[in-house]
Structure 1
Amino acid sequence: MIPLPAALVAMAFDEEHEVIVALTDDGQVHRIDPATGEVLQSTPVLDTIELPDGHGGPPVPTVLVAGDRAYVTDPDGGRVVELGIADELRVAREIAVGGNPAGVAVVGLAPTTHD
């Protein structure tokens, strides 16, 4: 178990399972070394998150890691926050999507080679 400063809301591993990105209910995002459990960096991204009791209720934020970026949904703010994982969790951009984003996906094409 990894000791965090607040309750875990969402988490994701990078592709190589070398980094965990975790969101806690105090609105902080944490970059964690999964081998040691050490919190390497933390940065505030959202306001305090009220988690619903049981099933149902409003959407809660989620986390996705793709490449060297982490994406955090902000259902209350109608946006997705993009963070640089290797860049001390710097906010790279905020993407206004409207509504209450409850999930996020990154889609891309695999590189192709021509013989």
Structure 2
Amino acid sequence: MTSAAKSMFVFGIYLLSLSMSCLFWPNTVIELIGIGEPGDASVFIRFSGMMALFLAIYYFAAARKDQSEFMWWTVYTRPLVFAFCALFVLTGVFPKVAIFVGIFDMVTAGWTYFALRAQAGA
């Protein structure tokens, strides 16, 4: 498995963990990130968990097949998670802890970017 594929696999594990948390413990997720009262948004959180599960499957498949084109797409889109999280934190929609979600996306997107560049140069 290439380094870029490993980065995608690791991100897939993150998405799988996030999805399972949202699907099975939505109220805990709501409390941890402070986006409402437990029970109020559990349907939305579960729906988000389902979408994260589907994304995790895409990331695992891309890693397994070493789909560099898909990997490049994620390099350009994952930093947008940080941008949106930062915007939501700055406008008071999300608590400050939510910025860590965006930071993780930025770091792993950077890992994928540098791995793909090294792969292209090899």
- TM interval, shorter chain, is under 0.3
- Structure holding more helix per residue: 2
Q: TM-score, normalised by structure 2?
A: 0.24
- Structure holding more strand per residue: 1
Q: TM-score, normalised by structure 1?
A: 0.25
